[in-house]
């Protein structure tokens, strides 16, 4: 689904499912559809091995990090990352949810992830960190774009006949502050409950269109607050926001960094918000530099 803000996609199970990661996991990747490697051109459902995110590219590029557990879940928000299925905090199709229209969204966890789990992503991450404590060499995290998408959708639902810009601007500070608090909680749990003291890379979110001031300004604010929240946890910043801007002259779609899903009557490409292989590889290189 197209969005001004970034990442969005189209089994209820309360028993924790143990990770099916490699015997000696050395790299744990956490996040949303960007980590998962979602591609809107692939039919849903499809086997998870058809999706390749930046963590898979990093594992292929780095021998020490080749044993990967990628927990990325399309539509994950910072709140649903922490609390998981059936929570009051909504996700964007990651978790099982009762929708306002009375129907159920089974969530992407029911469709298939690289590592199958039904518990909150935070809980699965802590399980793997503790189980593979002697082998773990790196952790990466990207999160937050879906938090902004939910703000946008809430504003549109509340004011269907109006331009949502004013509503979004009014709710932006609270949304990004909550995001930053959730990121601090995630990082704190990784360090304290996961007993992990190795490198963590926090990947900032790129803008799908740097010429859009609302979209780009909102993402810049979210990134800045997340980076500030990461202070004190020994986190390394992988600046995906700046790297995408520099590599595309502010126009990721035209630069081939985003997946083309159509064309306008004038022949101009229409892009999804998810990265192409070129964009994915750029993010992988950015995260790997931060981890090394």
pLDDT attached to residue 91: 74
Residue 17 belongs to a domain: no
The count of structural domains within the chain is 1
Residue 22 belongs to a domain: no
Domain that residue 76 falls in: 27-291
Residue 196 belongs to a domain: yes
Mean pLDDT value of segment 4-11 = 34
Residue 115 belongs to a domain: yes
Distances (CA, A) of 135 to 13, 31, 83, 115, 121: 30, 21, 27, 18, 20
Instruction: Give this prediction's pTM.
Output: 0.89
Q: pLDDT at residue 261 above 80?
A: yes
Q: pLDDT at residue 105 above 90?
A: no
Residue 41 belongs to a domain: yes
pLDDT attached to residue 209: 97
How many whole angstroms separate alpha carbon 271 and alpha carbon 201? 27
Q: pLDDT at residue 104 above 60?
A: yes
Q: What is the DSSP letter of 29?
A: E
User: For the chain, what is the mean pLDDT?
Assistant: 89
Residue 84 belongs to a domain: yes
Could you read off the pLDDT of 119-170 as tens digits, one per residue? Answer: 999 999 999 999 999 999 999 999 999 999 999 988 998 888 889 999 999 9
Residue 3 belongs to a domain: no
**The domain that contains 82 carries what CATH number?**
3.40.50.1110
Gyration radius of the chain's alpha carbons: 18
Contacts (Cβ under 8 Å, ≥6 apart) of 52: 37, 277, 280
pLDDT band at 20 (very low <50, low <70, confident <90, very high): very low
Residue 184 belongs to a domain: yes
């Amino acid at each position: 689904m197209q969005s001004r803000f970034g990442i969005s996609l189209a089994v209820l199970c309360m028993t924790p499912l143990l990770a099916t990661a490699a015997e000696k996991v050395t790299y744990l990747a956490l996040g949303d559809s960007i980590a998962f490697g979602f591609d809107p051109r692939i039919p849903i459902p499809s086997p998870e091995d058809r999706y390749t995110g930046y963590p898979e590219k990093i594992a292929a590029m780095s021998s020490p990090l080749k044993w990967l557990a990628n927990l990325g879940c399309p539509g994950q928000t910072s709140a649903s990352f922490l609390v998981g299925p059936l929570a009051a905090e909504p996700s964007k199709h990651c978790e099982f949810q009762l929708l306002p229209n009375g129907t159920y969204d089974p969530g992407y966890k029911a469709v298939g992830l690289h590592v199958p789990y039904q518990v909150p992503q935070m809980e699965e991450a802590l399980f793997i960190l503790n189980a593979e404590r002697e082998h773990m060499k790196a952790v990466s995290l990207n999160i937050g774009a879906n938090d902004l998408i939910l703000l946008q959708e809430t504003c549109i639902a509340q004011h269907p006949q109006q331009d949502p810009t004013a509503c979004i601007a009014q709710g932006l500070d609270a949304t990004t502050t909550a995001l930053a608090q959730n990121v601090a909680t995630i990082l704190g749990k990784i360090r304290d409950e996961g007993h992990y003291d190795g490198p963590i890379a926090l990947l900032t979110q790129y803008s799908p269109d740097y010429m859009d001031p609302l979209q780009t300004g909102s993402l810049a604010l979210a990134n800045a607050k997340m980076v500030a929240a990461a202070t004190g946890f020994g986190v390394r910043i992988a600046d995906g926001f700046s790297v995408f801007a520099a590599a595309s002259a502010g126009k990721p779609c035209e630069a081939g960094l985003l997946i083309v899903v159509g064309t306008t009557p004038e022949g101009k490409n229409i892009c999804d918000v998810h990265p192409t292989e070129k964009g994915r590889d750029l993010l992988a290189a950015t995260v790997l530099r931060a981890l090394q």
